[in-house]
Every structure is written in structure tokens, then in C-alpha cells.
Amino acid sequence: MPEAKETVLEIDLGNLAHNYQYFRSKIDKNVRFLSVVKAHAYGSDSVAIARKLEELGTDYFAVAYVEEGIRLRENGITKPILVLHPQFTHFEEIIKHCLEPNLYSEKTLRAFIETAEKLQQQHYPVHIKLNTGLNRLGFDPPELPRVIELIQHTKTLKVASIFSHLAASEDWQERDFTVGQIDLFRKMSWQLIENLEAEPLLHICNTSGIINYPKAAFNMVRTGIGLYGFGNDKTVDPALKPVVTLKTIISQIRTIEKGATVGYNRVFTAQDTTKIATLPVGHADGINRIYGKQKTGVHINGQFAPIVGNVCMDIIMVNITGIDCEEGDEVIVFGGKYHPNDFAEAGGTISYELITGIQRRVTRKIVNG
Ligand SMILES: *Cc1c(COP(=O)(O)O)cnc(C)c1O
């Protein structure tokens, strides 16, 4: 393959290191650091990111699905990997690849014990998820006696950690609710620990949890979006460096006259003589239709060029009237000086969705490795 000359997603490992050190500095030395690398490390490249984080000293990883964990193991990642959302049909694979399941319901707990017995495991590390108000995954308070009973009656498991997830850690309006979640988590965890004679790690904070509720770090924190350069907070964002930059090039430039239209369904009409550039990136690459019709735009040679007309599958057209540029020039869709938050906000979404939505056909390029 020739060096990618079309659309590339640059992944800056130097920026990753910067963000890692930032969050490391926010927590106590003996608090462990779990790096969340689910969804291709938030749309980037989970292997490259995990290797770098291992080198930087992360203690733990988390992925969403078993396949994601297997991929890391097959690429030499050795630190423990928590699988946040495993299905009970995948438990043999989990054990075979030394992955650690989140057990979040009686059904998953029973099924895992059964699999661990079958594979003759002893003290296999598992993570018990508690529901403290997000109402997504996890055991509710009345279920705890049942959890205790099941775990007391088997030697196959070791509770490596007990955890929960905050519903609105970035939102100060929800402070009371969040503090309530943290209190309930503490109470439920103690009930388990007292009855299990175990010394599990406790963790509830995600990125915004670390920033807004530092006293709730317990024994470990789970950072995802922050590692990739987003603090969910106007005061924290400037201290972080977005890891990804989406770049493309100009394929073609044309000048159209007043009254001419651009693209499917003719939704853009030139009000005057207009210079249009065509770029090889579209909704199949993750630039959804919502960004079309001048909602936002790209940067070419430091100048803003709005996306005109509808976003096509593989192409967008931008208005470059007054911009000094030629075919083959570099285009920054987002990243670097042009914060991905601004791009996401223009489309009415958040950084999480924008960066995880960049499709796999866009070449990933590692820089500052
Ligand atoms: C995705 C996820 C995280 C990471 O959250 P960020 O807001 O990206 O830091 C932490 N914990 C759980 C359970 C998650 O699903």
C-alpha cells in the first residue's frame, strides 16, 4: 500500500502520554489507573493505544466486549483486562484469554461459576457491578444476599473488584444525585466485603468523576474520554490534548456561477461566483449528514471552509471562495488547533460520538510514537 494520501486519522501518542500524566497527577499514588480502550480505543487504534499506556504504567485496561479483549491479548498486552459487557455465551473465551469479566446479574454470575467449574478454575478474578442509579448494568441492593450466597459457595472465583458507574458525573446540577450514588456504592460494597472475606478494589469514577469527585477515587479510577483529550468541561479541556486529528485532501476544485447548485437534492445554491472543493470523506467515514448544509466546516491553510449541500457517502463539498489553496492541499476536518468539540457541538452531539464514529476504512496513522 502506498502512504495514505487520502483521508487519515492521525493518532498522536505524545498527546496520549500528556493526558495520561494529567489524570495520573490528579489521583493519589496508591490509587490504580484503569484505562478504558473499548470501541477501538474510542475510535482510534486499541492496540497502539494500549501498548503506549502499558509503557506509561497503566494498571488495568477495560474493553466493552470479549472480542476487543482477545485482540489486545493477541497483540501482546499483558496487564489485566476487565470486560465491561460480556455475554454469558463468551465465558470460555474469557478464561482462555485471561480476561476478567464484569458479572452484573444473577444469570451472568451463575453462568460464569459454571464455566469456571467446568474449566477447573480456582480464584478466577471477576468484577462485581453494582447498580447505584444509572439503571444500566449491575446488581440492585436487594440482590446482594443472593450474590454473597453464590460466591460463598464456590472456590472458583475471586472478587478482584466491586464497581459502579456514575450517571451524571460531568453535570454539577446533578451533584446530589451523584453523591447519593457514591454513598450507595460505599454501603453496598461494604455489605459484600464484610460477607466475602475478600479485599477487592473499589471503583466508581470515570473521567468526569476524577475531576469533580476526587474523594470518590477509592482504589481505582476508570478513564476513557480524558485519555483521548476530552475533559467534558470547559475548564479542563485546555489542559488536555486531543489524540486524534482527521485529515483529508482536496480532490478537485471548480468555480460555479451564481444560481448553480451543489450536490444531491441541490440544497446549496451559489449566491455569487463560488469556488467549491471536493474532499474524499463522507458519511460512510463517520462525517454524518447532520454536519452538512453549512452546519460546520473544515480548515484549509488556516481558513474555515463550510460544508455545503448534503454530505455524500464518500464525499463532501466545501466552499473555498477566498481561500488560497489548490488540488492536493491538506484539509483538517477536526483536531489540532480545531478542537473536535467544536465540530461535534455543531452537529448537536458530543466528542464521544464523533470520535468513535470514524469508520475503519479511514487509515489510522500513528504519530509521535
Ligand atoms: C466507558 C466507560 C467508562 C469510561 O468513561 P469516560 O467518561 O470515557 O471516562 C468507565 N466505566 C464504564 C463502566 C464505562 O462503560
CATH number at residue 115: 3.20.20.10
Which of 203, 228, 253 is the endpoint of a domain? 228
d(CA 342, CA 98): 40
- Specify the pLDDT at position 119: 98
Nearest CA-CA partner of 311 in 280, 343, 354: 280
Residues 210, 68 within the same domain = yes
d(CA 30, CA 166): 22
Neighbouring CB atoms inside 10 A of 274's CB total 20
Residue 25 domain-assigned (yes or no): no
Domain count within the chain: 2
Ligand 1 atom at shortest distance from the alpha carbon of 64: 15
Which of 167, 196, 228 is the endpoint of a domain? 228
Cα(232) to centroid(ligand 1), Å: 13
Q: Is 136 annotated as a binding residue?
A: yes
Residues 216, 329 within the same domain = no
For ligand 1, atom 15, the nearest C-alpha belongs to: 84
Which of 228, 254, 269 is the endpoint of a domain? 228
Ligand 1 atom at shortest distance from the alpha carbon of 137: 13
Residues 204, 71 within the same domain = yes
Residue 8 domain-assigned (yes or no): no
Cα(165) to centroid(ligand 1), Å: 8
264 classed as catalytic: yes
Residue 253 domain-assigned (yes or no): yes
Pocket test for ligand 1, best of 165, 181, 351, 356 (most atoms within 8 A of CB): 165
Residues 315, 184 within the same domain = no
Q: Is 364 annotated as a binding residue?
A: no
Ligand 1 atom at shortest distance from the alpha carbon of 165: 13
- Specify the pLDDT at position 369: 87
For ligand 1, atom 12, the nearest C-alpha belongs to: 165
List the grid coordinates of 36.
478504558
- Specify the pLDDT at position 291: 98
Residues 256, 316 within the same domain = yes
Cα(283) to centroid(ligand 1), Å: 26
Residues 281, 189 within the same domain = no
Residue segments in the chain with a per-residue pLDDT below the cut of 70: 1-4
- Specify the pLDDT at position 42: 98
Residues 273, 320 within the same domain = yes
97 burial level (CB within 10 Å; 0-12, 13-18, 19+): middle
SS3 229: coil
| Candidates 38, 129, 241, 247; catalytic one | 38
- Specify the pLDDT at position 1: 55
- Specify the pLDDT at position 225: 97
Amino acid at 100: E
* DSSP type of residue 284: G
Neighbouring CB atoms inside 10 A of 237's CB total 16
- Specify the pLDDT at position 198: 81
Ligand 1 atom at shortest distance from the alpha carbon of 206: 9
Residue 238 domain-assigned (yes or no): no
Query: Are 309 and 277 spatial neighbours (Cβ–Cβ below 8 Å)?
Result: no
Residues spanned by the domain of 114:
31-228
Largest pairwise CA distance in the chain: 79
Cα(287) to centroid(ligand 1), Å: 24
Residue 11 domain-assigned (yes or no): no
Residues with CB under 6 A from ligand 1: 36, 38, 84, 165, 206-207, 222-226
- Specify the pLDDT at position 4: 54
Residues 133, 255 within the same domain = no
